[in-house]
């Protein structure tokens, strides 16, 4: 039996020869691949087979970057949110003031339109504060004698009548509102011309239409305007709408409550109308015609 050494101890070419061979083979393959692209398909297959291994190997790194980005983004968003909140808080007063100025500008435009529609002269005024008497409904405006404000002049806004001037000072005036218990204003129903008189002092700041027959032609929602027969308020100015009617057969008059059209709880700008529209002067009584004195001849004939 022939004994041979195991393959483990077989010696092939020298290592330097092997190195030269494989280097030459690598250079040849690179040159052929650069010229003819023959290994492109092999490269794609190898890359596809190695992709899952690459993803598994890169998973810890990707997870670390994702966690770092999440916490970094959260902190940045919280900081940005806090900065935006502070900015919004600082800008809030300016925004509120801007909205107030916008509403005031719109109100002034409406007052200008109302002033152009009126035939009587008017003066712009601003409400300074409400009256200090809790039992009366009055406001103080910033126009007085120096602005030719007089007692009894009507005061309106862009919607309707507010009241009339009841006290005048050099630089300010006091306006009594229609809802005051001492105020009365002659009205007429816009729908049919029915005349009536409204009094203030009703509950909830409403007006009371007194002495109206129970069968009077007036309905809920009717608009009442100034009749102009008092010579203070120009005719046709909106005053109130019918809010509630209580009719009882046991009473001759109906209880009618009116909601004022205008009001001082919305805006501060008003118009003070001039008191040019006065009631016509009373007709003077005719003087009896004096007869000429009788002469002596007329007496003798008698």
Average pLDDT score, the chain: 79
Q: What value does the mean pLDDT take over residues 192-216? A: 88
| pLDDT per position as a tens digit, 247-295 | 887 788 899 999 998 876 777 888 898 865 444 444 444 455 555 555 5
Tokens of 39: 């290994």
pLDDT of residue 72: 77
d(CA 160, CA 237): 6
Q: Is 8 a residue whose pLDDT tops 60?
A: no
2/208: higher pLDDT: 208
| pLDDT per position as a tens digit, 26-52 | 888 788 777 777 667 777 777 788 888
d(CA 197, CA 179): 13
d(CA 68, CA 105): 53
| pLDDT per position as a tens digit, 114-129 | 667 666 788 889 888 8
pLDDT of residue 259: 92
In three-state secondary structure terms, 151 is coil
pLDDT of residue 282: 44
Secondary-structure class of domain 122-273 per CATH: mainly beta
d(CA 194, CA 186): 11
Give which of 279, 25, 256 is closest to 152, Cα–Cα: 279
> What CA–CA distances, in Å, run from 144 to 32, 123, 129, 149, 277?
106, 11, 15, 5, 20
Q: Is 10 a residue whose pLDDT tops 50?
A: yes
Where are the domains positioned within the chain? 15-92, 122-273
Q: Is 7 a residue whose pLDDT tops 90?
A: no
Q: Determine phi and psi for 260, rounding to 5 degrees.
A: -60, 140
pLDDT of residue 280: 41
pLDDT of residue 90: 72
Q: Is 98 a residue whose pLDDT tops 70?
A: no
| pLDDT per position as a tens digit, 59-74 | 888 888 888 788 778 8
pLDDT of residue 278: 44
The CB-based long-range contact list for 134-137 (8 Å cut-off, 24+ gap) reads 136/176, 136/180, 136/181, 136/182, 137/163, 137/176, 137/177, 137/179, 137/180, 137/181, 137/200, 137/205
Q: 62: number of CA atoms within 13 Å, CB side?
A: 6
Torsion sign across C-alpha atoms 13, 17, 21, 22:
positive
Q: Which of 29-43, 93-107, 133-147, 157-171 has the lowest mean pLDDT?
A: 93-107
- Percent share of the chain, pLDDT over 70: 78
Q: List Cβ neighbours of 22 (8 Å cut-off, separation of 6 or more).
A: none
pLDDT of residue 186: 92
């Amino acid at each position: 039996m022939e004994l041979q050494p195991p393959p483990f101890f077989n010696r092939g070419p020298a290592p330097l020869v092997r190195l030269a061979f494989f280097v030459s083979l690598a250079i040849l393959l690179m040159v052929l691949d650069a010229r003819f692209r023959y290994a492109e398909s092999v490269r794609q297959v190898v890359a596809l087979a190695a992709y899952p291994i690459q993803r598994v190997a890169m998973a810890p790194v990707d997870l670390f970057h994702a966690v770092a980005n999440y916490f970094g983004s959260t902190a940045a968003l919280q900081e940005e949110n806090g900065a935006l909140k502070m900015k919004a808080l600082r800008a809030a007063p300016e925004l509120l003031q801007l909205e107030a100025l916008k509403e005031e500008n719109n109100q002034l435009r409406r007052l200008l339109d109302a002033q152009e529609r009126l035939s009587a002269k008017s003066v712009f005024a601003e409400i300074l504060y409400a009256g200090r008497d809790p039992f009366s409904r009055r406001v103080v405006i910033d126009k007085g004698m120096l602005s030719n404000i007089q007692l009894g002049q009507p005061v309106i806004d862009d919607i309707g009548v507010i009241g009339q001037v009841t006290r005048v000072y050099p630089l300010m005036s006091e306006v009594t509102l229609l809802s005051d218990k001492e105020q009365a204003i002659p009205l007429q129903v816009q729908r049919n011309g029915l005349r009536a008189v409204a009094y203030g002092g009703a509950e909830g700041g409403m007006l009371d239409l007194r002495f109206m027959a129970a069968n009077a032609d007036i309905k809920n929602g009717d608009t009442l305007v100034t009749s102009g027969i008092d010579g203070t308020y120009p005719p046709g100015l909106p005053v109130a709408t019918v809010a509630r009617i209580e009719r009882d057969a046991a009473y001759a008059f109906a209880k009618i409550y009116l909601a004022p059209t205008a009001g001082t709880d919305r805006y501060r700008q008003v118009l003070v109308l001039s008191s040019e529209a006065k009631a016509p002067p009373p007709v003077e009584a005719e003087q009896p015609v004096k007869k000429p004195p009788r002469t002596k001849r007329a007496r003798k004939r008698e």
